[in-house]
Amino acid sequence: MLIALGSLGRLDLLQRRFPDGIVIPNAVWQEVVATGADRPGAVAVSAAKWITVEAVSDRARVDGFASQLDLGESEALALATEKGAGIVLLDEKDARQMAEHIGLVPLGTVGILIWARRNGLIANLRLELDALRERGKFRVSESLYAAALRAVGET
């Protein structure tokens, strides 16, 4: 999500949705900022004072998730559980399903864009989704694309 929103120059939407800030695990920081230093949004994420990085305490939980998910997603789920968060920021389908299975509400990039459109922070969801696909190389299925547009009345 950080990379996707960064590719659009829209990290501000995440900050506006979560004005108290967000917490990300070390693996996500590593993926986005260290390993992804050449990707859009890496510098913005690195400089964002509203993003806090925390270590996951329960490594066994991370290992349990890691049998099905990548390390960043596994740590995000484990950290969300440890912190008692209701919402976890995830885009990958398997990670979102796992989040729901363990009682968390997954929120993805498309969900943030829908929220932003409904709240007047973006004027046209279709343009943002198209840019996400083109600039961000973000995969949005046709069914999700259509459902998102319907959700904001842009059919």
Res 139 pLDDT > 80: yes
Report yes or no on 118 lying in a domain: no
Report yes or no on 124 lying in a domain: no
pLDDT digits (tens, 9 = 90+) for 62-121: 999 999 999 999 999 999 999 999 999 999 999 999 999 999 999 999 999 999 999 999
Report yes or no on 109 lying in a domain: no
Report yes or no on 143 lying in a domain: no
Q: How many domains does the chain have?
A: 1
pLDDT value at position 3?
A: 87
Report yes or no on 119 lying in a domain: no
Report yes or no on 25 lying in a domain: yes
pLDDT value at position 112?
A: 97
Query: Residue 88 forms beta bridges with which residues?
Result: 106
What is the span of the domain harbouring residue 33? 2-86
Distance separating alpha carbons of residues 53 and 117, to the nearest angstrom: 28
Distance separating alpha carbons of residues 132 and 126, to the nearest angstrom: 10
pLDDT digits (tens, 9 = 90+) for 29-75: 999 998 878 887 788 889 899 999 999 999 999 999 999 999 999 99
pLDDT value at position 39?
A: 80
Angle at CA 12, nearest 5°, toward 121 and 72?
Answer: 125
Report yes or no on 104 lying in a domain: no
Report yes or no on 11 lying in a domain: yes
pTM equals 0.92
